[in-house]
Amino acid sequence: ETFGSKSELLLKSNPVYKKIPVMIHGDKPISESMIIVQYIDDVWSSAGHSIIPSDPYDASIARFWATYIDDKFFPSLFAIAKSKDEEERKAAIEQVIAAFGILEEAYQKTSKGKDFFGGEKIGYIDISFGCYVGWIKASEKMNGIKLFDETKVPGLTKWAEKSVPDESV
């Protein structure tokens, strides 16, 4: 896709939202990032590592946090960029810092002392949150803030250092 325009293929492949991402497997379009990840896991997990935990409870926890990241965390992060004045910007930064605290707790619980939310290998939550590392780092630079702060969120800071250079990313 060319930024700012929508091809016929995109409109045909995602007629409801009319946006990327869309993955076409064979002649079947699959839309929305996390649905694509689930599809990939369903189709190819038998060939190796599963992205979504096999335990139903662990899978529900992973889906919960992925939804939190998309529905709560990202809008807060995006609010920093679209804030109209300093007061809005500060409020948005406070929301993101609070969300980082919540995600730090989630990381501590779900990682079970390992490098990733998913344990020893990158999993569903890692992919969900990892999509935003670039946005987070850009927000840090543009706003003179430190979100990956090892004194406040040591687990997430360690996670970012390990996950971004991982070959599966």
Topology of domain 56-163, CATH: Glutathione S-transferase Yfyf (Class Pi); Chain A, domain 2 (1.20.1050)
pLDDT in tens, 32-78: 999 999 999 999 888 788 999 999 999 999 999 999 999 999 999 99
Topology of domain 8-47, CATH: Glutaredoxin (3.40.30)
Residue 78 CB burial class (10 angstroms; 0-12, 13-18, ≥19): middle
pLDDT in tens, 72-81: 999 999 999 9
What is the spatial distance between Cα 142 and Cα 60, in angstroms, rounded to a whole number? 35
pLDDT tier at 144, thresholds 50, 70, 90: very high
| Single-letter code of the amino acid located at 138 | A
Say how far residue 54 (Cα) sits from the centre of its chain.
20
Categorise residue 61: left if φ over 0, alpha if ψ from -120 to 50, beta otherwise. Answer: alpha
Q: Is-contact 32 21, C-beta < 8 A?
A: yes
